[in-house]
Amino acid sequence: MTKWALITGATSGIGWETSFALAAQGYAILATGRRYEKLVELEQALKKAHPQLEVKLAAFDVSDRFEVSEFLKAHAADLDQVEILVNNAGLAKGIEKMQEANLDDWEVMIDTNVKGLLFMTRGVIQNMIKKNTGHIVNLGSVAGRWTYPGGGVYCATKFAVRALSEGLRMDLLGTRIRITNIEPGMVNTDFSYVRLGDKSKADKVYEGMTPLEAKDIAETIAWCVARPPHVNIQELVIYPTDQAHVGQVFRRGDGR
Ligand code: NDP
Ligand code: 8X3
């Protein structure tokens, strides 16, 4: 029977690359995100790399409970075969201090990074329990372990991802379902552009240093998934070599 990997936020960055990494391991890909045209682009690229690959697409907003439930209904048969869920859809908005930040940005971050992850998890978990197999990979962040100025609410959402991953492992103990929380440092994707809304400001984030690439995280996810069934990589912090800590980045030209 075909095993499917359901990936949220597959239209860009880490989710896009994870689709290729899991396709290379033989998983059929159920790719989701809001931008349908990007999903179509992804499908074409995946099929070019793996002509026999089964790919399905679904465009919806993970933070919208109604849209998630429509997706779950429409794909009920596919969900029976989902072995891997990668809860990757997520974002940061703004870098303002909490006393000045935009309330809409807070809601978008909390709704997407926390509620979206919960809606998707709840949607697949019953089937995984029935089959007594499955692996949920959550995209946390180093921001889910350490806070930085101007990042309080984004960090809170990623602290929540860590707590939810831990809680799921506890509630699912005794099943064969694995839960992994991947916690990357700086990865060069659309993340900073989405956060800052300005290309030159986004480019500056990675200036003079070598960030991680989305492929680095995708390969890490694929490695976690490929461990034998009795091995669960619970949490994995992955920084670029040029980053020692959330607020400590080495930039060439720093005088060292
Ligand atoms: P990108 O901006 O490149 O990708 C984010 C993805 O999330 C897009 O595919 C986007 O798709 C999707 N997405 C955002 N909001 C929603 C929504 N409401 N419903 C459905 N899909 C949504 O960023 P990254 O690849 O870097 O980010 C992926 C994950 O990794 C995020 O959870 C992020 O917090 C985390 N992360 C990123 C780090 C980094 O430095 N880049 C470091 C640590 C963690 P679309 O717009 O089509 O909906
Ligand atoms: C993204 C990494 O350090 O920009 O989660 O918050 S950071």
pLDDT, tens digit, for every residue of 152-194? 999 999 999 999 999 999 999 999 999 999 999 999 999 999 9
Among the atoms of ligand 1, which is closest to the Cα of residue 188?
Answer: 41
Q: pLDDT tens for residues 76-94?
A: 999 999 999 999 999 999 9
Is 181 near ligand 1, meaning CB less than 6 Å away? no
pLDDT score of 127: 96
* C-beta of residue 180 within 8 angstroms of C-beta of residue 234: yes
Residue 204 lies in a domain: no
Residue 252 lies in a domain: no
The preferred substitution site among 142, 181, 216 for testing ligand 2, maximizing ligand atoms within 8 Å of CB, is 142
Is 141 near ligand 2, meaning CB less than 6 Å away? yes
pLDDT score of 42: 98
- The pLDDT > 90 percentage for the chain reads 98
Using a 10 angstrom Cβ sphere, with 0-12 exposed, 13-18 middle and 19 or more buried, the burial of residue 3 is middle
Among the atoms of ligand 1, which is closest to the Cα of residue 38?
Answer: 47
Q: Atom 36 of ligand 1 has which residue's CA nearest to it?
A: 141
CA angle 128-131-134, nearest 5°? Answer: 40
Residue 9 lies in a domain: yes
| Of residues 120, 93, 118, the one with CA closest to residue 105 | 93
Q: pLDDT tens for residues 206-232?
A: 999 999 999 999 999 999 999 999 999
First to last CA, the chain: 55
State the total domains in the chain: 1
Strands (E), 20-78: 28-33, 55-59
Q: Please, which pLDDT band fits residue 256 given cuts at 50, 70 and 90?
A: low
pTM of the model: 0.98
Among the atoms of ligand 2, which is closest to the Cα of residue 246?
Answer: 3
pLDDT at 255 over 60: no
Q: Please, which pLDDT band fits residue 202 given cuts at 50, 70 and 90?
A: very high
Residue 198 lies in a domain: no
Q: Please, which pLDDT band fits residue 1 given cuts at 50, 70 and 90?
A: confident
Residue 253 lies in a domain: no
The span from the CA of 250 to the CA of 233, in Å, is 29
Among the atoms of ligand 1, which is closest to the Cα of residue 8?
Answer: 21
pLDDT score of 253: 77
Which residues, at least 6 apart from 44, have a Cβ–Cβ distance to it below 8 Å? none
Query: CATH number, domain at 148?
Result: 3.40.50.720
Q: Find the ligand nearest to 14 CA.
A: 1
Q: Find the ligand nearest to 189 CA.
A: 1
Residue 251 lies in a domain: no
Q: Which amino acid is at 219?
A: E
Q: pLDDT tens for residues 27-70?
A: 999 999 999 999 999 999 999 999 999 999 999 999 999 999 99
Is 189 near ligand 1, meaning CB less than 6 Å away? yes
The span from the CA of 229 to the CA of 173, in Å, is 14
For 139: left if phi > 0, alpha if psi spans -120 to 50, otherwise beta; the answer is: beta
Mean pLDDT (whole number) for 102-116: 98
Residue 83 lies in a domain: yes
Residue 254 lies in a domain: no
pLDDT score of 254: 60
* Structural domain boundaries, residue 25: 4-186+213-237
Residue 148 is among the residues annotated as catalytic for this protein:
no
Which residue out of 154, 193, 206, 239 is catalytically annotated? 154
The span from the CA of 177 to the CA of 85, in Å, is 11
- Give the distance (Å) from ligand 1 centre to CA of residue 85: 15
pLDDT score of 45: 98
